[in-house]
Amino acid sequence: MIRVVVTIFAALSLAGCSTLGHTEFPVTPTAQESLPDDLSIVKLDPTNISYFQAPVKGHVPTGLPPAGRWDYKIGVGDILDVIVFDHPELTLPAGPERSAVETGFRIQSDGTFFYPFVGQVYALGRAPEEIRAVLSVRLAEFIPSPQLEVRVAAFNSQRVVIAGEVHQPNRQSLTTTPLSLLEAINAAGGLTEKADARHVTVQRNGRTYRVDLQGFLAGGMVGNNPILVDGDVISVPSKTTEEAFVLGQVIAPGNVDLSGDPVSLTQALSRQGWIDELRADARGVFVFRLVAGRMVVYQLDTSTPMGLLLGTRFILEPQDVVYVTRSPLSKWNDTISALLPTVQAVRSVQVVTADL
């Protein structure tokens, strides 16, 4: 709601400046002398447009240590199902109404479970194959060449937690099959529309690691889809709101979302219905931007095909204010001087809103 109020206020305030009327073009060095010292004007042309092209958003390799070869180890609370072939008396019957989970051998708090004839068997930290080998040796005292199988009937000891911008935040048990980050997110219903896949975090052993999952999805960075281990906490954050404002003599003044792919000046104008051809001066498309503490105003002449092409190469940045003027009575620097206080106010409120 605050954002909507700010946008309406900005649109109305800047629209009021349209009474300034006609603006003289092109921008001349002499005209800049009447402007504040901390403000400069840049007329966009083929010689300088290359400086304003899209920044490369490279993918970042994760610093999360690899889990290595996955080998599930038995933990406290796991339930084992032991089958001894040709010896049904040693295989607890599940029956039509009882599952292996109900009749299996639960790992106790001391890491052991009790098995007939053998007694206590230590299982904590061992793989099912290791338990099988131990039972085979100890049962050989009673059964010639015992053939048996050990399976985990219920995985209760090791879990990961998925939270944040997924459709179904949950806890997931680790099994004998390795669980990757992407698989865990998919098992939680997948990413929401607000999810920021570039800044997923994994908490492990008291440390938090950033994982650029988008680097795996779009860039094929295998390391950015790590195998999860017991105790991992995965958090998927929301995208940070990044907006520019398109105001003045356009069909639909409003905000432009910059949180996704780069948006050019021409694209932003197109999304807002383009300039109002009956009222706007196509030569007077201004972009107000704060650069190193100084306000810089970029002017683009869109009255020619060359200007439209240049606009496709000028990439907007968060909190840019785009303003399209109307036909002038005053000089262009008077127009900018009148717009500047309102632009600064819009930017200030936007920063405060982002911090709330």
Domain 1-55+262-356 has CATH 3.20.20.140: no
Classify burial at 25, counting beta carbons within 10 Å of its beta carbon; exposed 0-12, middle 13-18, buried 19 or more: middle
Query: Which band of pLDDT confidence, cut at 50, 70 and 90, is reported for residue 340?
Result: confident
pLDDT one-digit tens code per residue, 194-226: 999 999 999 999 999 999 999 999 888 999 999
pLDDT band at 53 (very low <50, low <70, confident <90, very high): confident
Q: Is the pLDDT of residue 170 over 90?
A: yes
In the chain, what percentage of residues exceed pLDDT 70? 78
Residue 182's pLDDT is: 97
At 107 the pLDDT is 96
Higher pLDDT, 183 or 43: 183
Q: In DSSP terms, which residues pair with 185 in a beta bridge?
A: none
Q: Is the pLDDT of residue 121 over 50?
A: yes
pLDDT above 50: residue 256: yes
From first CA to last CA, the distance across the chain in angstroms is 12
Sequence-separated contacts (24+) of 7-10 with Cβ below 8 Å: 7/245, 7/254, 7/255, 9/346, 9/349, 10/245, 10/247, 10/321, 10/342, 10/345, 10/346, 10/349
Express each pLDDT in 275-299 by its tens digit. Answer: 988 888 888 899 999 888 888 999 9
* Two domains, one topology: 57-71+160-240 and 73-157: no
pLDDT at 94 over 50: yes
If one compares 54 and 238, the residue with the highest pLDDT of the two is 238
Residue 35 is predicted with a pLDDT of: 64
CATH topology for 73-157? wza like fold (3.30.1950)
Q: Average pLDDT of the chain?
A: 83
The helix/strand/coil state of 11 is: helix
Domain boundaries, the chain: 1-55+262-356, 57-71+160-240, 73-157
| Superfamily of 57-71+160-240 according to CATH | Outer membrane lipoprotein wza domain like (3.10.560.10)
Q: How many CB atoms lie within 10 A of CB 133?
A: 13
pLDDT at 226: 96
- 42: Cα separation from own chain's centroid: 34
Phi, psi of 266 (to 5 degrees): -65, -40
> What is the predicted pLDDT for the residue at 98?
56
DSSP label at residue 106: E
How many Å apart are CA 204 and CA 226, to the nearest integer? 12
| pLDDT score recorded for residue 130 | 94
Residues 326, 281 contacting (CB under 8 angstroms): yes
The confidence score (pLDDT) of residue 218 equals 85
Q: Which of 34, 39, 40 lies closest to 333, judged by CA?
A: 34
Residue, of 107 and 42, whose pLDDT is higher: 107
Confidence of residue 39 (pLDDT cuts 50, 70, 90): confident
Beta strands in the chain (DSSP E): 39-43, 79-84, 105-106, 112-115, 119-122, 148-154, 159-164, 170-173, 200-204, 207-211, 233-236, 243-248, 254-257, 280-291, 294-300, 321-326
**What amino acid occupies position 341?**
P
